[in-house]
Structure 1
Amino acid sequence: MLTYDSFFIGGEWVAPSDTSAFDVISPSSEEIVGRVPEAQKADVDAAVAAARKAFDEGPWPRSTPEERADAMARLSGIINEKLEDFARTISTEMGSPIQFSRFGQVLAATMALDFYAGLTRETQWEETRAGLLGPTVVRRAPVGVVAAIVPWNVPLYVSMLKLAPALAAGCTVVLKPAPASPISGQMLGEAIEAAGLPAGVVNIVPADRAVGEYLVTHPGIDKVSFTGSTAAGRRIASLCGENLRRVTLELGGKSAAVLLPDVDLATALPQVINVGLMNNGQACVAQTRILAPRERYREVVDALVDQVSAQVVGDPLGEDTHIGPLVSATQRERVEGYLAAGKKEGATVALGGGRPKGFDRGWYVEPTVFTDVDNSMTIAQEEIFGPVLSVIPYGDVDDAVKIANDSRYGLSGSVWTEDPDAGLDVARRVRTGTFNVNTFMLENCAPFGGFKESGLGRELGPEGLAAYIEYQSVNLPSGWSAK
């Protein structure tokens, strides 16, 4: 069992303000596998004070881009050295299949960190422009102290989507991991300590929602970056609005994978299934609405059911496991509620629809395929966050685009076709922040975020760095020139 008894605050491991702790329960065995102290308001006060002091008085915001980039590179190297430890910990605490943990949870995190280390070196942090009365220096300055609130489903990667650009900009950070996956957050603190970042630049306080709200409203915070549910995002947005606090929100999704009539199912479906069921379906970018041409609907369903039925359900640490358990009993109950709603509203269960046989322990749900789904059904409109796919028929391409856009979300999506140009035409018509043609990827160089209720702002790319920057214009007298 992995047990921690302190928080990483101000560059040190400090005792918590009281004895409250999170017991981390394995989703596969239902046994306690770790314990981490639970931050209270006093611990948040200490973390914010450390971050505030590091920003107002410390060397990090005043360091050179090369110094920041070098420190980020050291951190990336340390995480890479501990890749297997991080991956196994994440799989143990929240149920992600180990193969996904290695690449989608840990390696992807270091790749994002490496990208921002490079961008730190390349960015023009000050430039001089010719004004009407004299030259103007435009500075890119760090926004200040950042509250980064991350979810349990991809804890290290999402942490890095916030931490990497914040570090690149010269910000300091208070990171709040989720109660269900706090151990990997503590391990990140150990890596940051080993990388030698200045004291207070990153502070880590696992906490529940109420203390998270306290962090969001703390007067020492300049910006909030949140990834999680749309309902929680609305609350955070309102609190930040009251305080005129900068905010980035990456929220829910209900994305569509559009199979055009010419699609090669043998090539496309394995990738479509991987995207739809990634991380046990617990991914905001999961494309769980499969839009199939009416004239090929039965062919698509038969092929999809055949391939999904081959997905191995098992121990998340098993090398051949495709589908692990859901993160908690509560999450399984939530998913089972959607399974019941789909059946009640008239969808057909072509595969799965319940708990897998042979699993007396663990919060498992069968990989499920619903057919005869209308896009107005609950299972097609609401984010299930479990291994559940809905196959929706469409008439022509215009109808497919209409169905894809018939959602309050707009986070991700894809199109599968033998004609990439036709796929690009579809992409231009779908209102979603990230779209893929015959592939799936979050590219570090490109902005990631959502339209509509999928969020505000962007992460990744230069746009993700801009979210942690304030622009300052310094107007100088005529004739001034740099010395």
Structure 2
Amino acid sequence: MSTLTQEHTDLFIGGAWQPSSDRALTQVICPATEEPFGAAPTGTSVDVDRAVDAARHALRTTPWADSTAEQRAQWMRALADELEARGDETARVVTNENGMPISLARVAEGKGPAATLRYYADLAEGTPTEERRSANLPGRTTVVRRDPVGVVALVVPWNFPQSLTMFKLAPALAAGCTVVIKPAPETALDAFALAAAAEACGFPPGVINVITGGRDVGAYLVAHPLVNKVAFTGSTAAGRAIGEVCGRLLRPVTLELGGKSAAIVLDDADLVETVRGLAWVSLLNNGQTCYLNSRILAPRTRYDEVVDAVADLARSFRAGDPLDPATRVGPLVTQQQRERVEGFIAAGRAEGGRIVAGGGRPKDMDRGWYIEPTVLADLLPSATPVKEEIFGPVLTVQPYDDIDHAIKLANDSEYGLGGTVWTTDVDRGLDVARRVETGSIGVNFFDLDLGAPFGGVKASGLGRELGPEGLDAYITLKSIYLRATDQGGQA
């Protein structure tokens, strides 16, 4: 695998490239080569102040402050076109940053953000800024106004950095907000690609700002007194900390957090079709996807059959160079992440689990943070790999006795983000899906719908992204009461 070194010394603040107040750079390590791929500014609280000030200024001044939804939609579509034109190169950057297979990166990171922008551009144009309602008292009218919430801090993770940035950025722009984007240190470089695209298409200065840095920079941004809202995707532990800060500050927050989703295989399921679908919903992005169905629940009468089929699936995913379009499993994002996943596999062994596929590092890969897709069977519901989010290519298979037992196992989790039901009877699958405690669930497939809300329940988060509900998260509502007889009070 060859890598291109990318070094950025400046941050994107106020529509211009500005040096960080700390001239030190933080290396970005390619997980496939274990060598530096690039470097980004370390960032400081002073840089956060400058970025938030720029966003605040843009929020209150022309051309953004008095822009119409139609004007914002034009800027958003121009940004979508620019991102799409740069999509292949952005995908290569993301693959070098986090090990995402290039075939996935070209779709999710190269094309997906543009589609999200265009969806919210259309939605902005179709959503009125004001509406008049007849009040419940005679002779009164209420004007209900939708205003932007203000300056928004977007704190995004490393696993799908461009897509998950856009889940937040697109509705924020559609609403008329301004933003400060803080990417994960592991994937800082692709955020500058987004900034360059915004600059190239003539986005108003200060509307989109990009700063980089570690947890201290993120924490300072989240608590900044001039930030009006926070949108975060990441671990549940970090989400709890951010939620506590925002709760104390009475600051709106959207939290898309961890998951430990279940795939419920019903007794009538077509196993060939089920396994084909599980390849996407259980091992996507090297197992580093929040909604993945890492718990496979199988009827006890078909348990051995399902275990064998899932094991065969895992063995068919051979690790390789993530820049090779044929590769389906790349490396994990960091050495620390691989060691964490290995710890879960060791815990599974110690707690009585049977490893039926994988379980170690690929023998033919002498460098890179790779781990074999692994399947654990025969674990108790209380076992560590069953209960905790692993965020790697590790699946567990558990037996259930009947539908009620399956739903009990599916709901026996602190998380509730995704899930699937596999059956040849769609109505039966829909009945089961309704009973699972989760924010989203698919029958015989799982794929996010830009037009429908996505988010979790329980420890999987607060609020929703995507769909009209995703736009509502960046709106503040104001009611203006009028007497119909007053000047200007007529509809």
Answering whether residue 57 of structure 2 is matched by residue 53 of structure 1, we say yes
Shift of 1:58: 3.6
Query: Which of residues 112, 134, 155 is equivalent to 1:130?
Result: 134
Equivalent in the alignment of 1:102 = 106
Tell me, in whole angstroms, the C-alpha distance in 2 between the residues paired with 1:214 and 1:481. Answer: 45
Answering whether residue 72 of structure 2 is matched by residue 68 of structure 1, we say yes
Shift of 1:482: 5.1
Shift of 1:372: 0.8
Query: Which of residues 261, 264, 269 is equivalent to 1:258?
Result: 264
**Contact 1:142 1:468 survives alignment (8 Å):** yes
Answering whether residue 384 of structure 2 is matched by residue 381 of structure 1, we say no
**Aligned pairs (5 A) from 1:12-161:** 12-131=16-135, 132=137, 133-161=139-167
**Contact 2:86 2:110 survives alignment (8 Å):** no
Shift of 1:481: 4.1
Tell me, in whole angstroms, the C-alpha distance in 1 between the residues paired with 2:113 and 2:396. Answer: 30
Equivalent in the alignment of 1:400 = 406
Equivalent in the alignment of 1:306 = 312
Shift of 1:104: 2.2
**Contact 2:361 2:370 survives alignment (8 Å):** yes
**Aligned pairs (5 A) from 1:352-431:** 352-431=358-437
Equivalent in the alignment of 2:285 = 279
Equivalent in the alignment of 1:207 = 213
The residue identity in structure 2 corresponding to 1:200 is: G
Measured against aligned partners, the alpha-carbon deviations of 1:46-90 in whole angstroms (never above 9, x if no partner) come to 000000111122422320111001111111111111111011110
Query: Which of residues 4, 7, 17 is equivalent to 1:3?
Result: 7
Cα RMSD (Å) of the superposition?
1.0
Measured against aligned partners, the alpha-carbon deviations of 1:326-368 in whole angstroms (never above 9, x if no partner) come to 0000001110110110100011000111111111110011100
Tell me, in whole angstroms, the C-alpha distance in 2 between the residues paired with 1:448 and 1:293. Answer: 29
SS of 1:326's equivalent in the other structure is: coil
Query: Against the structure 1 CA distance between its residues 243 and 272, is the aligned structure 2 distance closer, same or farther, given a 3 Å change threshold?
Result: same
Tell me, in whole angstroms, the C-alpha distance in 1 between the residues paired with 2:423 and 2:279. Answer: 16
Query: Which of residues 228, 231, 243 is equivalent to 2:234?
Result: 228
The residue identity in structure 1 corresponding to 2:452 is: A
The residue identity in structure 1 corresponding to 2:461 is: G
**Contact 1:173 1:202 survives alignment (8 Å):** yes
Tell me, in whole angstroms, the C-alpha distance in 2 between the residues paired with 1:398 and 1:61. Answer: 54
Measured against aligned partners, the alpha-carbon deviations of 1:344-403 in whole angstroms (never above 9, x if no partner) come to 001100011111111111001110011112221110110000000100111111111110
Tell me, in whole angstroms, the C-alpha distance in 2 between the residues paired with 1:262 and 1:110. Answer: 39
**Contact 1:312 1:320 survives alignment (8 Å):** no
Which deviates further from its counterpart, 261-270 or 300-309?
Answer: 300-309
Query: Which of residues 191, 195, 207 is equivalent to 2:197?
Result: 191
Work out the percentage of aligned pairs sharing the same amino acid: 53
* Count of residue pairs the alignment pairs up: 483
Query: Which of residues 220, 223, 226 is equivalent to 1:217?
Result: 223
Which deviates further from its counterpart, 105-114 or 269-278?
Answer: 105-114
Query: Which of residues 158, 166, 179 is equivalent to 2:185?
Result: 179
The residue identity in structure 2 corresponding to 1:295 is: T
TM-score scaled by structure 1?
A: 0.99
Unaligned regions of 5+ residues in structure 1, if any? none
Q: After the TM superposition, which segments of 4 or more aligned residues of structure 1 sit over 6 Å from their partners?
A: none
Tell me, in whole angstroms, the C-alpha distance in 1 between the residues paired with 2:24 and 2:149. Answer: 33
The residue identity in structure 2 corresponding to 1:421 is: D
**Contact 1:61 1:142 survives alignment (8 Å):** no
**Contact 2:484 2:490 survives alignment (8 Å):** no
